[in-house]
Amino acid sequence: MASVVVSAVGGSPQRVTADTVGEAKRALACANYTATLNGEPADDDLELQDEDYVALSPSVKGGSR
């Protein structure tokens, strides 16, 4: 398990312990959010390392006209 910092839009950064980005998202109850890992887009199955920074933002759905 890695000790990482996770920040969701509008919230304070929190330190959590997780193996993957998906686990970090679930720790903050943000499973439907989009994640970036150290500034780069990240899939839920991406493995984390100590001191990584995961930023979460609500997923934006494109609309059709």
User: What average pLDDT does this structure show over 2-13?
Assistant: 94
CA distance 4 to 9: 16
Classified as helix, coil or strand, 62 is coil
Annotation: CATH topology of 2-58: Ubiquitin-like (UB roll) (3.10.20)
Q: pLDDT above 90 covers what percent of the chain?
A: 86
Global pTM? 0.88
SS3 41: strand
Sheet strands (E) in 1-65: 2-8, 14-18, 33-37, 40-42, 53-58
For residues 65 and 50, give the distance between their C-alpha atoms in angstroms, rounded to a whole number: 44
Is pLDDT of 25 > 70?
yes
